[in-house]
């Protein structure tokens, strides 16, 4: 324990005294949350998602021009309530019901919903009746926040830990530690806890700071959210430790980390929902810890999900943390 605490303390000191890195770790998520929350960040998305209740075939006859408009993906739904829930939680941009009198739903805080409304007016006139979603409508920023914070945590976890260990290995510091009685697990666990503490403190400060301006929606328990965020960060840090367990080159580590980061960034639901994506893509997304962390955080914040309700995500995050740290310690090389 003494050795673990010694390495933990030293790593914390190193991080806190590296002022430029510390400042950037604070500035980056602030800039992302505030910048993206107040600009329509979805401008680079080419496909709008429109749910259709009442059948795609009927949609073709009721709204042929809209149906043939490019860059809109139509996703059939049988159950109206489920589909409306998707609108509330920004998993879909618009819902059209062509089962009876034509109607459409949008989330009034959704930038894409706003644009689709203009498109439907332009293509189909005003034959569709505008509907508002029932219950608490989730603002775009509330949907977006867990994703952006999660993504920032992912970068800080993977690159923060991965590059540091590779640097230690390259400059010979790990070799120096190898000559002491310190064990690989003690060293790696200290790195994990050090990074975890720093990330949780930074994320909490960023969340609290942004909350002063934006007043995020919070339906659930902060403790459950803290547990999910902690386990998510642990799981991501463990992946960083595993990548760095044997790598001796920053270039190689960067390449491997990018291979890990990009699929997570695109498929974890941080930027956009995978609603309507192919089934295998949705299944693939389930292997990423970030997917589970963001899904659980959104459920807690926007739907008031309890710990029991997010337990499947918690289990995945816990098991992947243990698995990756154990594997990292097993394959770890000091040099």
Partner 1 sequence: MPPIITATNLVKQYPGVLAVDSINLAIPAGICFGLLGPNGAGKTTTIEILEGIHPPTSGTVLYKGEPLGARYREEVGIQFQHTALQEFLTVGETLELFERLYHHTLPIPELIELCSLADILDRDTRKISGGQRQRLLLALALINDPDLIFLDEPTTGLDPQARRNFWDLVELVKSRNKTIVLTTHYMEEAYALCDEIAIMDKGRIVSQGTPTQLLSEHFGDVVLQIPHADAGSKLSELGLRATEAGDMLEIRTNRLHHTLQQLIENGINLDRLRIRAWTLEDLFINVTGKKLST
Q: Which residues bind partner 1 (CB under 8 A)?
A: 2-3, 5-7, 9-11, 13-14, 17-18, 168, 171-173, 175-182, 335
Q: Give 179 or 279: the residue with its C-beta nearer to partner 1.
A: 179
Supply the minimum distance, in Å, between the C-beta of residue 190 and partner 1.
11
> Could you give the angle at which helices 250-267 and 289-303 cross, rounded to 10 degrees?
40
Query: How far is residue 110's CA from residue 93's CA, in Å, rounded to a whole number?
Result: 7
Strands 103-106 and 94-97: antiparallel
Residue pair 234/158 in contact by the 8 Å Cβ criterion: no
Q: Give 2 or 118: the residue with its C-beta nearer to partner 1.
A: 2
Supply the minimum distance, in Å, between the C-beta of residue 244 and partner 1.
16
Supply the minimum distance, in Å, between the C-beta of residue 178 and partner 1.
6
Q: Give 3 or 60: the residue with its C-beta nearer to partner 1.
A: 3
Q: Which residue has the tokens 């945590």?
A: 153
Supply the minimum distance, in Å, between the C-beta of residue 24 and partner 1.
15
Q: Give 159 or 271: the residue with its C-beta nearer to partner 1.
A: 159
Residue 331 φ then ψ, to 5°: -95, 0
Q: Give 130 or 175: the residue with its C-beta nearer to partner 1.
A: 175
Query: Residue 232 corresponds to which tokens in the numbers above?
Result: 């998510």
Supply the minimum distance, in Å, between the C-beta of residue 241 and partner 1.
17
Query: What is the signed CA dihedral for 100, 106, 112, 114, rounded to 10 degrees?
Result: 100
Supply the minimum distance, in Å, between the C-beta of residue 334 and partner 1.
8
Contacts of 92 (CB under 8 A, 6+ apart): 49, 50, 51, 75, 83, 86, 273, 275, 276
Query: How far is residue 161's CA from residue 231's CA, in Å, rounded to a whole number?
Result: 16
Q: Give 74 or 168: the residue with its C-beta nearer to partner 1.
A: 168
């Amino acid at each position: 324990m003494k050795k673990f605490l010694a390495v933990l303390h030293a790593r914390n000191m190193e991080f806190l005294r590296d002022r430029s890195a510390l400042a950037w770790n604070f500035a980056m998520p602030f800039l992302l949350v505030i910048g993206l929350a107040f600009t329509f960040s979805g401008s680079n998305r080419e496909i709008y998602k429109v749910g259709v209740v009442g059948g795609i075939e009927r949609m073709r006859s009721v709204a042929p021009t809209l149906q043939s408009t490019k860059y809109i993906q139509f996703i059939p739904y049988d159950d109206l309530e489920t589909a409306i829930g998707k609108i509330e939680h920004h998993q879909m941009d618009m819902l059209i019901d062509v089962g009876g009198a034509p109607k459409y739903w949008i989330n009034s805080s959704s930038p894409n919903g706003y644009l689709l409304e203009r498109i439907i007016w332009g293509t189909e006139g005003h034959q569709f009746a505008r509907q508002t979603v029932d219950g608490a409508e989730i603002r775009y920023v509330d949907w977006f926040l867990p994703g952006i914070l999660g993504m920032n945590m992912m970068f800080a976890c993977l690159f923060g830990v991965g590059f540091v260990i590779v640097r230690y290995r390259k400059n010979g510091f790990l070799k120096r530690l190898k000559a002491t009685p310190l064990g690989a697990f003690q060293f790696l666990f200290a790195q994990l806890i050090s990074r975890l503490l720093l990330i949780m403190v930074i994320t909490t400060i960023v969340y609290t700071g942004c909350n002063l301006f934006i007043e995020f929606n919070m339906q659930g328990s902060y403790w459950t959210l803290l547990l999910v965020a902690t386990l998510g960060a642990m799981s991501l840090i463990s992946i960083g430790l595993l990548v760095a367990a044997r790598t001796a080159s920053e270039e190689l580590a960067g390449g491997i980390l990018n291979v890990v980061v990009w699929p997570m960034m695109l498929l974890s639901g941080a930027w956009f929902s995978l609603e309507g994506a192919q089934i295998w893509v949705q299944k693939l997304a389930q292997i990423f810890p970030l997917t589970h962390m963001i899904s659980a955080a959104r459920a807690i914040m926007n739907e008031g999900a309890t710990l029991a309700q997010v337990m499947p995500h918690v289990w995945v995050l816990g098991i992947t943390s243990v698995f990756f740290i154990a594997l990292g310690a097993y394959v770890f090389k000091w040099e």
